[in-house]
Amino acid sequence: MSLADKLAEERRARLAAERLLEQKQAELRAANRKLDLHARALSHEIHETRAEVAVVRDENRRVKSDLTVAHQKVEIAERRLWHSIQTIRDGFAFFDADSRMIAANRAWLAVFDGLEEVRPGIRYAEILQILTEEGIVNTGERTPQQWREHMLDRWQADAPEPEVMRLWNGEYIRLIDQPGAGGDMVSLAHNITATIRYEKELKEARRRAEAANRAKSAFLANMSHEIRTPMNGVLGMAELLMESALDEDQRLYVSTIRHSAEALLVIINDVLDYSKIEADRIVLHPEPFDLERCIHELVTLMQAHARDKGIDLLVDYDLFLPTRLIGDQGRIRQILTNLLGNAVKFTEAGHVLIRVTGVQAEEGQEADIRISIEDTGIGIPADKVGDIFGEFNQVDDAQSRKFEGTGLGLAITQRLVRQMGGDIWVESEPGRGSTFGLSLPLPVAEAPAPELLPLAEGLKRVLVLEPNDASRALLERQLGALGLAVTACRDGARASEMAAGVDLVVADHAMNATDGFALAQALRAAGHTMPIVLLAVNPGSLAQHPSRALVQAVLQKPVARRELIAALAALVPAPPEAPPEAPPRAMRVLAAEDNKTNRLVFAKMVQALDIELSFAENGREAVALFQSLAPDIVFMDISMPEMDGKEATRAIRAIEAREGGHVPIIAMTAHAMAGDDAEILAAGLDHYLAKPLRRADIVARIAEAAPPDARPPAAMVQDTG
Ligand code: ADP
């Protein structure tokens, strides 16, 4: 090979090597670039990862610290809770599903007085064992064994009832055990010793209060007795004094004494009645009585007062309604007295009308009696009407403040009415008047007589002269119901004219321009000869009037239906009957009374009667005199020395049981408590008169007892009430 060839070859090789080198260098650069790129990416990645690691580490740290805080909080909460549980005064423990104690607070453990064994882990049954064996619990009636069984049974119940456990030292623990989730049991022990002691104290206080209340009732009974006895003297003597010769001033003084005493008595009675009702001690004594008569008696009693005020008292007793009913007359009288008293009290002008209606009933059946008391007085404001039956309620405005009263009357009335099975209500319009309505279911004692007395023959047309509208309407109705043709007129101005063709004139004595006698004179002067009947509120005072002979009858106003009928029947004189033979003897009345003043009062009260009066000063004497005198009636004071009225009555009844007969014995007593009257009647007394005695009551009782073989004691002496 040539050198040139060799050189060329060498150059070619060198060139190739140089190219290779260049290529390799380029490759190296590229690789370097790549490497650099990679290194940069890697360093970025490393950087990012580092940052992430830092975040995670931070988070980790935070979570860790949060956890610590939470843990601390839980610890604090638990400590606090436990501290609270420890400090509460009630015992608190809880048990797991195997009835092993998990924990208990100090109060729960206190009853065990530091016994080591009672600590977490102990079983409930072991605790019961310790309680009995150590004598911590007083198991009472149960043996320790029974008690433990009882407590275990209870523990295992689904919902254990609370249990009271008595400890040796007299303390009481109430256990409340509550099953919780997963079979746990929470046990609360509540010391109720104070409550139980308080309950005992309350019971004791109540016992003492009841005793005090009984003492109060007894005191009231006594007080009533103590007050009523001298009041009998005051009222009785005032009543007698009223009838003696007095000058005007003296009369005023005496009547003031009397009215004050009566007012006092009303208050005492109200207060007593109310306390009796409070104690549910009112006992009703139903017996046959005459309702119409009872109402008329009341009206007579109130008449004087109403007359002084210029008010008419009217009674409208349904003609076909029975009058003999069965009820507690005394209490019915009390109800009506109160309503009537109020009506008169709160009325300045016009009238008070008592209307009695009802559903007809046969003898023995219950009649639904309706009584309304209607007045034309001040009325009751609508917003007060609902309250007046409450206690101590008075419509308190300037208008009614001037009226006295206890505010108990209607409360008592309502209770009495309800006790009788009835009801009471009121309708009122201020300024126009009030109507009190009353329903009373009362059995009929005697159906009304089927035929009324025949009227005088030829009596067909009647002229009524009566200024009062209500009263006139009433008379029209009553006379119309008797089958008479009635012409009614408000005054006597045209009487002469109107009397033409009339068979009878019924006229109010007190007419506006004239009076009954002047009217009679005018009629007689005009040649009228028909009978004239006058109605007057106090007929007694007209008896001596020079013109009395001009009229045929003067009747008490308001006139009782029976009296009116009797008067009309008597207008034509009946054929004279042979005068009855004079009874040979006077009635014998025995009164037993230990108090000298009251004997005097009694004697004075009956002094106008044609009777033979004897006194006994105690029960023993009364029995002896009963045997020696054979009285027709006995008045018996209840509290007397040596032998009291009840005992004496029992002795008399025993004598009668051997020898036959039954003499009415009337109790006179100042005891006003309910229950007393029941006891008194149970001792064999027939009736009951409360002191202070009223002359009319005594006279009525004597008149009722008059035997056929004795002279009648006398005409009724009018009560001056
Ligand atoms: P008091 O002893 O005060 O009369 P009551 O219980 O009998 O007590 O009556 C309560 C109140 O009801 C009376 O004070 C009066 O304000 C009112 N009142 C009762 N009856 C009537 C009546 N007929 N007219 C107007 N107000 C009456």
Instruction: Please say if the pLDDT value at position 715 is more than 90.
Output: no
SS3 674: coil
Q: Is 378 in the pocket of ligand 1 (CB under 6 A)?
A: yes
CA distance 634 to 513: 51
Q: Is 667 in the pocket of ligand 1 (CB under 6 A)?
A: no
CA distance 431 to 98: 84
Nearest residue to 334 via CA among 426, 414, 400, 263: 414
Measured in residues, the chain has a length of 721
Residue 336 token pair: 């009506």
Beta sheet of 137-138, edge-to-edge order:
101-104, 91-95, 185-191, 172-179, 163-167, 137-138
CA distance 651 to 626: 10
Q: Is 405 in the pocket of ligand 1 (CB under 6 A)?
A: yes
CA distance 291 to 387: 29
The closest residue, in CA terms, to atom 2 on ligand 1 is 405
Contact of 237 with 214, CB cutoff 8 Å: no
CA distance 419 to 544: 48
Ligand 1 closest atom vs CA 375 = 23
343 CA to middle of ligand 1, Å?
8
Instruction: Please say if the pLDDT value at position 570 is more than 90.
Output: no
Question: Per residue in 64-96, pLDDT tens?
Answer: 999 999 999 999 998 888 888 888 888 999 899
Q: Is 439 in the pocket of ligand 1 (CB under 6 A)?
A: no
Query: What are the φ/ψ torsions at residue 587 (nearest 5 degrees)?
Result: -70, 145
411 or 274: which carries more pLDDT confidence?
A: 411
Query: Stretch 645-674: mean pLDDT, rounded?
Result: 86
CA distance 337 to 354: 11
Contact of 279 with 221, CB cutoff 8 Å: no
Ligand 1 closest atom vs CA 406 = 2
Contact of 433 with 363, CB cutoff 8 Å: no
Query: Stretch 528-537: mean pLDDT, rounded?
Result: 86
Domain at 461-570: CATH code: 3.40.50.2300
Ligand 1 closest atom vs CA 377 = 24
Instruction: Please say if the pLDDT value at position 557 is more than 60.
Output: yes
The pick from 347, 373, 374, 394 for probing ligand 1's pocket by mutation, whose C-beta has the most ligand atoms within 8 angstroms, reads 394
319 or 508: which carries more pLDDT confidence?
A: 508
CA angle 636, 640, 643 (to 5 degrees): 90
Q: Please tell me the class of the 587-704 domain.
A: alpha beta
SS3 536: strand
**Which residues are CB-neighbours of 437 under 8 A, at least 6 positions away?**
370, 371, 372, 424, 425, 426, 427
Helix (H) or strand (E) holding 637: strand 633-637
The pick from 410, 429, 432 for probing ligand 1's pocket by mutation, whose C-beta has the most ligand atoms within 8 angstroms, reads 410
Question: Per residue in 298-354, pLDDT tens?
Answer: 888 888 788 888 898 888 888 778 888 999 988 898 899 999 999 999 999 999 999
**Alpha carbon of residue 15 to chain centroid:** 143
Query: Stretch 468-488: mean pLDDT, rounded?
Result: 84
330 CA to middle of ligand 1, Å?
21
- Residue 531: asked if its preceding bond is cis (omega within 30°), the reply is no
The closest residue, in CA terms, to atom 18 on ligand 1 is 342
**Alpha carbon of residue 697 to chain centroid:** 30
Q: Is 343 in the pocket of ligand 1 (CB under 6 A)?
A: yes
Q: Which fold has domain 282-446?
A: Heat Shock Protein 90 (3.30.565)
Could you check whether 91-191 and 282-446 share the same CATH topology? no
Q: Is 350 in the pocket of ligand 1 (CB under 6 A)?
A: no
Question: Per residue in 259-292, pLDDT tens?
Answer: 888 878 877 777 777 766 665 667 888 988 989 8
Per-residue model confidence (pLDDT) at position 387: 84
Q: Is 393 in the pocket of ligand 1 (CB under 6 A)?
A: yes
Q: In the structure, what pLDDT confidence band is assigned to residue 577 with cuts at 50, 70 and 90?
A: very low
Ligand 1 closest atom vs CA 408 = 6
Q: Is 270 in the pocket of ligand 1 (CB under 6 A)?
A: no
- Per-domain boundaries in the chain: 1-86, 91-191, 282-446, 461-570, 587-704
CA distance 640 to 619: 7
Instruction: Please say if the pLDDT value at position 716 is more than 70.
Output: no
Per-residue model confidence (pLDDT) at position 574: 43
308 CA to middle of ligand 1, Å?
20
Instruction: Please say if the pLDDT value at position 471 is more than 90.
Output: no
Q: Is 409 in the pocket of ligand 1 (CB under 6 A)?
A: yes
- Residue 692: asked if its preceding bond is cis (omega within 30°), the reply is yes
Q: Between the CA of residue 715 and those of 3, 38, 696, what are the distances in Å?
A: 202, 152, 11
CA distance 258 to 236: 9
339 CA to middle of ligand 1, Å?
9
Per-residue model confidence (pLDDT) at position 720: 39
Q: Is 434 in the pocket of ligand 1 (CB under 6 A)?
A: yes
Query: Stretch 420-445: mean pLDDT, rounded?
Result: 93
263 CA to middle of ligand 1, Å?
16
Ligand 1 closest atom vs CA 373 = 23
Q: Is 388 in the pocket of ligand 1 (CB under 6 A)?
A: yes
Q: Is the dihedral of CA 526, 532, 536, 540 positive or negative?
A: positive
342 CA to middle of ligand 1, Å?
6
Nearest residue to 369 via CA among 408, 336, 412: 336
Q: Is 303 in the pocket of ligand 1 (CB under 6 A)?
A: no
Confirm or reject CATH 3.40.50.12780 for domain 91-191, answering yes or no: no
